[in-house]
Every structure is written in C-alpha cells, then in structure tokens.
Structure 1
Amino acid sequence: MPQFHTPPISPMAIAFDAEKLTLAPEGPTLTRRMSDLEGLFLDADAWATASAGDNPVVYTVVSSPVPEVDRELPQSITTIMPGDTSGELWMTKGHQHPNHQGEIYLALTGRGGLLMFDGERTEWIDMLPGTIGYIPPGWAHRSVNTGDEPYAFLAVYPGGAGHDYGWVLEHGMGSRAYRSTEGVDLRPYSASPSAE
C-alpha cells in the first residue's frame, strides 16, 4: 500500500503580523540594496550614482522557516520601497523558476504591480491590498512598487521551483514600468530612459 513520505518538518502555525509585516517563527531575511540590482535599470548611470551614493534599500524579503525544498510550500513577505531610478519604478530583481511551477502573490499593503514575461508575451496585474496574482508555470515575474508608500505582498511557492535571476538579465521582462500621472507607464524593455 502506498505511503506518504515523511515531511522534513513538522506541522506548524505561522503567525502573520499585518502591521509589522513579519512572520513568526521567522526564517531568513534578505535585504536588496540598489547595488544588488546591477543590470536591471535601463539608466545604468543613474543606477551607478545611486549605488555609489546612499545605496538605498530597494526591497526586503522576510521568510518563514519552511525550507525551499521539493514538496514544501515556503512563504515570504516582500516589501518594496517607493522610488524610481530615472522614472523607472523600483522593483524586485525578477526571476524565472528553472523547475517551471506556479506561484501566488497576495498584495498586503501599498500599491504595486506584477510584471510577467514568458519570453514572448508580457502580462501586467495591478496589485492592491487583497489582490491575488497568479503566476503560471514558465512565466518570469517581477514585482514593482507603483505607489508612494511601501508595497508589500505575501508569496507562496513550491520549494523545489528554484530561482533563476540570470534569466531576467539575459531575456529581459518584455516591459519596463515607469511612473506616470495615471500610475504606471509600461514601455518596451528596450525603450530609452527619455521615452515619453
């Protein structure tokens, strides 16, 4: 008779603090500064100036202790600070899952967007608190803060999916998100920083 595999961790409750945007028990925390985002902003000179200057924190990721291994469902809260580099809105590095699997994001606070690219098509979902963005297998994805306050979201993803950040550097994301009076202006990935 088939048996379930013994999971590597025991069942647990994870507390979510909606005000502090934390998880308890807490796992690893990642802080990405401007200098960590080399090659992502179109205006490389503006990126270099910001990196060499105050090198601001662009986003943080607070994880639960659920491991990133096959058959597990890790969770994390990402908070992206408001800002732009030559008009291009602050964002996560973006990644593709080498082991193509789906993922969900739940917007918690602020205003943001979910940019997805499958190598040919680009999709954008406006993310407001309560919005669940579904990322199908095979789509690279990046989150963008489109507002004037921190944008935070909860991610739940298959632990064995992996994160390929190099894919985005090689293939781009199809579009770039710029600040506009209407909130966000999506431009072709190769658009110049001065495009209107």
Structure 2
Amino acid sequence: MSAFLLPPQVAWADGVLSGGPLIRKSTRMQALAGVFSNQSAWSECDPERVVYDVELFDSPSAEGELYVGVTHLYAGRVGDEFFMTRGHFHQRREQGEVYFGLHGEGLLLLQSEQGEARLEYVFPGSVHIIPGNTAHRLINTGAVTLSALAVWPCAAGHDYASLAGGFALRVVDDDGVVQTKEVQNG
C-alpha cells in the first residue's frame, strides 16, 4: 500500500476545523456599528462581546484557489434583531459561494444588486448555493451557536461598502416569533 496524506477535516456536528494551518478572526460588537437598526440598543452592548468567529484553512490565495471556512454566529439580540454577520457582496461580483449548515438554526439573507431580498432556512445539513452578484448575511434565530461551512473562491474578495445602507430585510424577534421587516431604501 502506498503512503497517503490525511486531508484537513471538519467536525460536522459543530464545525471545528482541524488538520491544517488555520486563520481565526473574531468580530466584536464594536466592529458592527450601523449593522443593527436600533443604534441605541447597540450602543448599550458590551463593545468587546464577540458576535461571531470565523476560522478558515490557510490556503494559497492565487487565482483559481478556494477558501474553506466556518462561521460560528453566537445566539443573541440587539434590541429585537437577532445577531447577524455584517454581510457582503464579493468584490468580484461574478463569484459565487456555497454554505453548508452544520449546527444550530437561522437564516441566510440573500440580496441582489437591485435590492431584491429573500431568506433561506439554515439548519444542520442544509446546502445554500449563493450565486454571483448576490450579497449574503447569516442570521442566528436560535438559542445556540449557528455554524455554517463556506467554500468560496480566494479571488472573490469582500465588499462591505456597497451595503452601507443595509439590506432590504430585517429579521426580528416579535414576542418569541421570528418576523421579517422590509426596510425602505435598504
């Protein structure tokens, strides 16, 4: 039998990556200025509170290569809005991405450049194909951490500035019921 390499791994139950060099990034409340609609409630939050962590395999970033990473979005709310990632378009708009739900439950908010928004339910085993030219944001509507594996082209980049006005939909807790609100000029 010839020798073989053991590839990097993901623990499907919780999204823990292993078997390769990792890059880790934490996004704290203070970095999410303007993301939540209730700025008063946001300003009362602990600025050092971690809202989500991202870990990814340290991959070559050349054209044609792929990143593989996991977002761990913690449970919580700011005012009546659930914790969410910042959300972004790709700098290279034509680049798509794939998300795989691993743990917890929530929503994937998708929005076209024309402002048309839709939501997909994220749960363990769900697969989400995010087309090019589509902004995306994870929202944790559950009581535990929402973890999702993502695969995307290294050349895609992130464009947060194009969403400075926010997404066209907000997801809120209305007395224990998950509701959506349309945002004007979102």
Q: TM-score, normalised by structure 2?
A: 0.88
Unaligned stretches of 5+ residues in structure 2: none
RMSD: 1.9
The structure where strand makes up a greater share of residues is 2
Unaligned stretches of 5+ residues in structure 1: 1-10, 192-196
Aligned to 2:159, which of 161, 164, 176?
A: 164
Kept after mapping to 2: 8 A contact 1:26/1:62: no
Which residue of 1 is the match for residue 129 of structure 2? 134
Which residue of 1 is the match for residue 77 of structure 2? 84
Aligned to 2:98, which of 87, 104, 111?
A: 104
Which residue of 2 is the match for residue 174 of structure 1? 168
> Alignment length, in residue pairs?
178
1:8-157 to 2 correspondence within 5 Å? 13-19=7-13, 21-24=15-18, 25-52=20-47, 55-100=48-93, 101-118=95-112, 119-157=114-152
Kept after mapping to 2: 8 A contact 1:34/1:50: yes
C-alpha deviation, 1:190, in angstroms: 4.4
Q: What is the CA–CA distance in structure 2 between the aligned matches of 1:48 and 1:147, rounded to whole Å?
A: 23
Q: What is the CA–CA distance in structure 1 between the aligned matches of 2:74 and 2:80, rounded to whole Å?
A: 14
SS in 2 for 1:50: coil
Kept after mapping to 2: 8 A contact 1:146/1:183: no
C-alpha deviation, 1:105, in angstroms: 0.3
What is the identity, as a one-letter code, of the residue corresponding to 2:66?
L
Kept after mapping to 2: 8 A contact 1:73/1:158: yes
Q: What is the CA–CA distance in structure 2 between the aligned matches of 1:162 and 1:105, rounded to whole Å?
A: 16
Q: What is the CA–CA distance in structure 1 between the aligned matches of 2:180 and 2:153, rounded to whole Å?
A: 29
Show structure 1 runs of 4+ deviating over 3 A: 180-183
Q: What is the CA–CA distance in structure 2 between the aligned matches of 1:97 and 1:69, rounded to whole Å?
A: 16
What is the identity, as a one-letter code, of the residue corresponding to 1:138?
N
Q: What is the CA–CA distance in structure 2 between the aligned matches of 1:179 and 1:67, rounded to whole Å?
A: 41
C-alpha deviation, 1:12, in angstroms: 7.3
Q: TM-score, normalised by structure 1?
A: 0.84
Kept after mapping to 1: 8 A contact 2:15/2:103: no
| 1:96-154, Cα deviation, whole Å (9 max, x unpaired) | 01212111100000001100111321010011110001111101110000100000000
Q: What is the CA–CA distance in structure 1 between the aligned matches of 2:61 and 2:6, rounded to whole Å?
A: 16
What is the identity, as a one-letter code, of the residue corresponding to 2:111?
F
